[in-house]
Amino acid sequence: MEWLDGARCVICLTFDLDADISWRNILRRHNIERDNPVILSQGRYGPKVGVPRVLRLLKKYDLKAGFFIPGEVAERYPETVRDIATEGHEIGHHGYSHRNPASCSLLEEKEELEKGIKILEELTDEKPLGYRAPAADMSENTLNLLSDFNFIYDSSMMGDDVPFIVKTKDKEIIELPIRWILDDWVYFGFNYFPPLEYQSGISSHRKVFEIWSDEFEAVYEEGLYYMLALHPQIIGIPSRARMLEKLIQFMKSKEGVWFASPYEISKFWREKES
Ligand SMILES: [Zn+2]
């Protein structure tokens, strides 16, 4: 299919800035009330080092990405949020406390959305237009709540090779699907403790480059859409950021590749479908 200005395929780079709160949530899930400083510092690497490195990389190639940020992370790292917004990247909603929406009551989920919107709007002067569900899960209320709060797009589901329309109770939302093979956690997410959480091993960058570039070649061939869902604390370490740079160079070496932010893709899809 044809994308904007006759482009052959579209590439979207997104970063979920979970920082330390997703690790705190993992500790709580294991009934550990103590905030283990080593585990949390692994998450804090994201805003402290990962984001600046990713921003430098995006700037070098003049790319605009989407960053999905939990409200609680935005409150604790306001300068990081401002830096991302100042560089012209899009900021999306990623819950408030990164709590799994499926574990929330309707009221709690509504509060998570409200608090997240409020802090992102305070820091960027704009309401977030997009949402990515924390913990890769949704409740039966999530999509209806997203349309109540006038979100334009969601990027949490996995049901197609291209964007699609999801009907909510009284509106429609554009879905920008993700897929596990284009996520960095599944290859690199590692921690020593708690046991049985992310101890699957640390992948070779070459293996991941091979999977991501093979997927790009297939997407390019078929004229589809390619959404990378990354995490600054994971992809932002030196060798992995270098691998991402090689991937960007490889994609840019082909004709007709459109790099777009999530909102730009949702806008294109909305116009195409109407
Ligand atoms: Zn997350």
Which CATH number is 130's domain given? 3.20.20.370
**Other Cβ atoms closer than 10 A to 185:** 19
66: exposed, middle or buried (C-beta count within 10 Å: 0-12, 13-18, 19+)?
buried
Between the CA of 94 and the centroid of ligand 1 the distance, in Å, is 7
* Distance in angstroms between the alpha carbons of the first and the last residue of the chain: 16
Q: List pLDDT tens digits, range 219-249.
A: 999 999 999 999 999 999 999 999 999 999 9
Surrounding ion ligand 1 within 5 Å at CB are: 16, 18, 134
Between the CA of 89 and the centroid of ligand 1 the distance, in Å, is 18
Cα 271 to chain center, whole Å? 23
The SS3 assignment for 167 reads strand
Number of structural domains, the chain?
Answer: 1
Query: Which domain covers residue 133, as residue numbers?
Result: 4-273
**Predicted TM-score of the model (pTM):** 0.97
- The answer on pLDDT for 142 being more than 90 is yes
pLDDT at 166: 96
Between the CA of 71 and the centroid of ligand 1 the distance, in Å, is 11
Q: Crossing angle for the helix pair 205-222 and 238-252, nearest 10 degrees?
A: 20
**Percent composition of the chain: helix, strand, coil (DSSP 3-state, to 5):** 50, 15, 35
pLDDT at 1: 81
Angle at the Cα of 90 from the Cα atoms of 133 and 101, rounded to 5 degrees = 10
The torsion angles phi and psi of 82, rounded to 5 degrees, stand at -65, -40
**Other Cβ atoms closer than 10 A to 273:** 11
- The answer on pLDDT for 198 being more than 80 is no
Between the CA of 189 and the centroid of ligand 1 the distance, in Å, is 12
C-alpha distances in Å from residue 140, one per residue of 113, 114, 135, 143, 169: 15, 18, 15, 7, 11
pLDDT at 156: 98
- The answer on pLDDT for 67 being more than 80 is yes
pLDDT at 76: 96
Q: List pLDDT tens digits, range 80-134.
A: 999 999 999 999 999 999 999 999 999 999 999 999 999 999 999 999 999 999 9
- The answer on pLDDT for 200 being more than 80 is no
What number is the average pLDDT over the span 207-214? 98
Pairwise CA distance, residues 12 & 229, whole Å = 9
